[in-house]
A and B are shown apart, each in its own frame.
Chain A
Amino acid sequence: MTQGHRLAALRTLWIVAILAFLYIPIISVVLASLANTRYMRFPHRIWTVDAYRDALGSFTTWQLHTISLSIALSVVLISTLLGTLGAVAFARYDWRGRGWFQRLLVLPIFFPQPVLGLALLLSFTAIGISPSWKTAVVAHLVWIVPIVTLVISVRFFGYDVAQEEAAYDLGASNLQVFREVTMPQIWPGVFSGILFGFLLSWSNLPLSVFTSGPDTPLPVWLFTRTATNYSPLVPSVAVIGTVVSAMIVIGAALLLWASSRLRSPAR
């Protein structure tokens, strides 16, 4: 009995330790943003939200978010489209060369991102394209499209494709088959693909550092300002950026929930 108690206590301790390991660094960013000094020291002598006032009033904060958001939304749009089509080729039909397609598609994921970033920057300059947020979109796509494709492919393996034939046999046009069967079946995968695409792009540093040129996305700014010109403004912008992306993700989830609620009782 006592041994059982001890085991249970150990297990609780282990879980608490893991959670602390995961979340203390995140909490420490929040704590650092509430200081008025550039020296990272704890506990603070003065607790203040001055950094947030500065961040919200600064044009740079807005610009960083606009750039990151432009990149992320472009990436989501293109990667979801390419990922869905790619998943059809990856998982749905058996065709000559599919094995090679599957291998080549996942290859970029295994490349170290800084190497990929450098390679892309060299390619862009070689063909005379100067880096900007648009080249960063291309760079992100190289990394994110394979992941989104795989995420959506899983759904294609997960349902009986004879359902599409059945729908067709019962008089549905190709478009109706897609709308009535294929899309509802792969939608959970597409939705995860959208979230993955957004979050991976929003938080990407190694590709953006090489390929965004004069347009600075959020993670790149955080990195350079931490390295060269740190102040509590840096963690406060980091917290704002996290809140913004969390709001977008939660908003998307709510939208999905609301749309499914709207559709089901009306049938």
Chain B
Amino acid sequence: MMAETATQSGRPVILSLAGLSKSFGDMRAVKPVTLDIPEGEFLTIVGPSGSGKSTLVRLLAGLEAPTEGRLKLRGEDITSIPANRRPTAMVFQSLALFDHRSVGQNIEFAMKMKGVAPDARKTRALELLRLVRLPESYYDRPVTQCSGGEKQRVALARAFASDPEILFFDEPLSAIDYRLRKTLEVELKELHQRTGRTFVYITHSLEEAMVMSDRIAIMQAGELVQIGTPAEIYGRPANRFVASFMGEVNILAVEGAAFPDIGRPIENPGGAYAVLRPEDLQPGTGDIRAEFKVTQRLLLGSRTHLHLESATGAAFVSEIGGTVEAFAVGTTHEFGFARDSVVWVDT
């Protein structure tokens, strides 16, 4: 079922997971995952810490052996091939640069292991420095003298130097400050488009995933709970977990034909929970309206978040565009939403 979208893209499958799982003792870190990754895709696996996403990517890179299941690269079984003989490369969370070596030596490492001649190595290393937008003068610099962003680029160049079929990223941007992270996200996306390589990226930030990916896979407690394009994930979350992972959302428990949270009846197409985005809950409009008391007003520049309380005491969030100074804390207003803006989920 999950492989469907991959074949829809029309590109050949490069990496194929069949029931791949990993247990540590009694703990099932990754429950059987079946997934096809088409050539040239930017796939992001998103999940909270402990969801098994890091273990999954380590299985794919060959740094961890699966308990069960098979892994195929272009149709060839590589399940038992160790990481050092797989044509893939990983950018680690800590980057794991060789801190006793220069930038050039780091980038050339994979080529040195393959026995490439020093001159050819240097030519390629300088090429890769340009690819990741670092000046060639960095070649002789010790990596310890590079800034955080420069280290990211060196790590990227080092992974590219092995000429990998697939690049894996294990949350490399998680320790970087917000603005630099945004820049690097865009650069990474551009790099993906320019090189045409297959990227498998791990992150705990769905926002990061939305920016960069062709497809997003959501992981929860060792299980892939949903996979699809960013628009599909955003528009039709598979469950409350996925919906709430997207950011602040209102989740309303539905009993029969009414939201007990606001005391209004609604046509229930058959879900147990209604997901209502903050931007869909607006003052004075909508098919379904109720009175809410403002408990908090957060000005976020381009938008304003209002924390609301319904008559029944349930907490809601509404997002209004711009910096809005109305809706003072403690005042009561009518807010509403369109019936078809509600996303229904079962679990």
Contacts and interface: CB of A to CB of B under 8 A. Distances in A.
A169 B90 contact: yes
A169 B99 contact: no
B110 A162 contact: no
B113 A162 contact: no
Interface string A159-170: 110110111111
A165 B89 contact: no
B105 A169 contact: no
A107 to B, nearest CB: 31
Contacts of A180: 98, 109
A138 interface: no
B302 to A, nearest CB: 38
Nearest to A184: B100
Contact of B98 (A163, A176, A267): A163
B83 interface: yes
Classify the secondary structure of A's interface with B: helix
A63 interface: no
Given A169-B89, A170-B158, A163 B96 contact: yes
B114 interface: yes
B113 A176 contact: yes
B85 interface: yes
A173 B97 CA distance: 18
Nearest to B90: A169
Interface string A24-67: 00000000000000000000000000000000000000000000
Classify the secondary structure of B's interface with A: mixed
A185 B98 CA distance: 9
Contact of A159 (B62, B88, B99, B162): B99
Given A165-B63, A176-B113, A180-B109, A170 B89 contact: yes
A171 B100 contact: no
B92 interface: yes
A162 B83 contact: no
Interface in A143-196: 159-160, 162-163, 165-173, 176, 180-181, 184-185
A171 B92 contact: no
B307 to A, nearest CB: 41
Contacts of B83: 165, 168-169
B84 A172 contact: yes
Contacts of A267: 102, 105, 118
20 contacts: A159-B99, A162-B93, A162-B94, A163-B97, A165-B83, A166-B92, A166-B97, A166-B98, A167-B113, A168-B83, A169-B62, A169-B63, A169-B83, A169-B89, A169-B90, A170-B89, A170-B161, A172-B84, A180-B98, A180-B109
